Amino acid sequence: MKNSLFILFLSCSSLFAQKDRVGLISWNGVKKMNVNFMTEFIETKVNEQLDSLKLDNDVAALTRLNGVSNVTYTVTKSADETFNVTYTVIENWSILPNLQLWTTDEAEAAYRIGVFDYNFLGRNNTLGGYYQSNGISSFGLFFSAPFLFSANFGIESSYQKLASIEPIFINALPARYEYSNTGVEILGVYRLNFRNSVKFGATVFSEKYQYRSGSTAENVPQFFEVDKIMLKSNYTFDNLKYDFYLVNGFRSNFFGQYVFNSNAFQNEFIIAWNDFSYFKRIGKTGNWASRLRLGLSSNDESPFAPFSLDNNLNIRGVGNIIDRGTGVLVFNTEYRTTIYEKNWFVLQGNAFIDSGSWRQPGGNFNDFIDSENFRIYSGIGLRFIHKTIFNATFRIDYGYGITRNSSSGIVFGIGQYF
């Protein structure tokens, strides 16, 4: 009797599982995206049980791909009692020119020109390069295929020669060095699941520093060259959900690096930082966004400290690399709201507060609460957004310093600030 009941239970379970299974997955709106890649990429599979949680996860994961702007799904029942799942995709235009114009501190015209395909072959690959001139020539070549070997495993690689005039600080006095960095990088990328991913690899590069002007010191060379190997790691937890340009959720991004040097002037050092980002939808078009960055490195008393206080990285309006440190604590928060939206175009306004503090090279943790190292800036900005071109957000921000002896300024850029 018990065996008969058990067999009946299994038969009923099998019948219900058969009725609840996915019989067909189809795609609408696909132009460039590779259908086979997306079918392998998602959690929902043919002949497996229909799961609404997996469907929601699929939407969240797909909208993080470079080539996808938005995704919805529908579920219909077929004649054989299975379910047909249809994903409707709005794709991003992903082949983009890279053009930037600015002036250097010497009032020279500078530019960067290049082209990138952020969805090469429809598989979320990035292929591209650029040439830059700011009185010194630079260039870079990039190939990223995060799903090259499977739906979870791939690589990122690059070759760059970067050169610029860098401000450093010797005994608190400014100096200017011509800096160049030539190197090749390769990273392995593994997606644990749709929320968690890791990267690990190495960069082999050569750095050159040539004194140009400003303060000097006997213990700081005016020219040196150093070959380095950098081991890099990254862990990302990403629970963000996108509705075109609006974002909701939490993301944590950890970076760790260990650098080997061939020059006695610079010691081997460790650097690590974590970005915690939180986004909250408010009403129909409001978006509150915040980022907390915590970072530390080896505390060498060197003018070439790795963390910098800079307009384009952490505090809008503060200026271009006005200070350096071996530790960083930065909090950015802003409220974004849609001013105008029509078809593909969005005009977004924002009000922000950026604040941060640094540990001085060779200093201690008390530096973080020293008023001389603390900056608070507030400001407003505009965002010009194309909803279906990858990362097509042009931003303008004006930041005004609240703390003592602060500056103010306008910051331009591509993409949201964070």
Range in 142-151, 157-166, 212-221, 335-344 with the lowest mean pLDDT: 212-221
Q: Is the pLDDT of residue 87 over 70?
A: yes
- DSSP calls for 172-184: TEEEEEEEEEEEE
Tell me if 321 sits within 8 A of 303, measured CB to CB: no
Place of tokens 């078009």: 285
Examine the fold and report which residue of 238, 272, 307 is the final residue of a domain before the chain moves on: 238
Q: Any idea which of 67-71, 135-139, 168-172, 192-196 has the lowest mean pLDDT?
A: 168-172
Examine the pLDDT at 1 and tell me if it is beyond 60.
no
404/390 same-domain check: yes
Same-domain check for residues 129 and 34: no
Q: How far is CA 141 from the centre of its chain?
A: 18
**C-alpha to C-alpha distance for 353 and 374, rounded to whole angstroms:** 13
251 shares a domain with 230: no
Q: How many CB atoms lie within 10 A of CB 102?
A: 12
Which domain range does residue 112 map to?
Answer: 93-238
- The per-residue pLDDT for range 380-404, each reduced to its tens digit, is 999 999 999 999 999 999 999 999 8
pLDDT of residue 107: 52
**pLDDT for 265 beyond 90:** no
Cα distances (angstroms) measured from residue 333 to each of 314, 317, 330, 362: 11, 15, 10, 30
Residue 212 shares a structural domain with residue 323: no
Are 254 and 388 contained in the same domain? yes
Q: Which of 223, 238, 253 is the last residue of a domain?
A: 238
CA distance 312 to 120: 28
Confidence of residue 172 (pLDDT cuts 50, 70, 90): confident
Pairwise CA distance, residues 304 & 307, whole Å: 9
pLDDT band with cut points at 50, 70 and 90 for residue 6 = very low
Number of structural domains (the chain) is 3
Q: In sequence order, what are the residues at sequence separation of 6 or more whose Cβ sits closer than 8 angstroms to the Cβ of residue 149?
A: none
Q: Are strands 223-238 and 241-243 parallel, antiparallel or unpaired?
A: unpaired
pLDDT at 9 over 60: no
The residue that leads in pLDDT, 350 or 215, is: 350
What does the pLDDT look like over 176-192, one tens digit per residue?
899 999 999 999 999 99
- Domain end residue (candidates: 67, 91, 115): 91
Same domain, 186 and 46: no
E strands of 262-387, at which residues?
Answer: 269-282, 286-297, 307-309, 323-325, 327-342, 345-359, 374-386
Identify whether the C-beta of residue 112 lies closer than 8 Å to the C-beta of residue 54. no
Residues 199 and 116 in one domain: yes
User: What pLDDT is recorded for position 224?
Assistant: 83
212: Cβ contacts below 8 Å, ≥ 6 apart: 165, 176, 177, 178
CATH number at residue 37: 3.10.20.310
The Cα 91–Cα 93 span in angstroms is 7
pLDDT band at 147; cut points 50, 70, 90: very high
Dihedral of CA 177/159/150/64: which sign? positive
Contact status, residue 138 vs residue 131, Cβ threshold 8 Å: yes
CATH of the domain at 287: 2.40.160.50
In this predicted structure, what is the pLDDT of residue 11? 43
Summarize pLDDT for 285-331 with one digit per residue, the tens: 999 999 999 999 999 887 778 898 888 899 999 987 788 899 999 99
Distance CA 26, CA 42 (A): 12
> 401 and 260 in one domain?
yes
Q: Are residues 6 and 115 in the same domain?
A: no
The torsion of the CA quartet 91, 97, 101, 105, rounded to 10 degrees, works out to 90
Of 13-17, 72-76, 83-87, 189-193, the one with minimum mean pLDDT is 13-17
Are 410 and 348 found together in one domain?
yes
CA distance 154 to 293: 27
Both 264 and 218 in one domain: the answer is no
Other beta carbons within 10 angstroms of residue 3's beta carbon come to: 7
- Co-location of 271 and 390 in the same domain: yes
Burial call 284-308: b when 16+ CB within 10 Å, e when fewer: ebebbbbbebebbbbbeebbbbbbb
Per-residue pLDDT tens for 21-31?
999 999 999 99
Alpha-carbon torsion (208, 212, 215, 218), positive or negative: positive
* Percentage, residues of the chain above pLDDT 70: 93
For the stretch 325-372, pLDDT in tens is 999 999 999 999 999 999 999 999 999 999 999 999 999 999 999 988
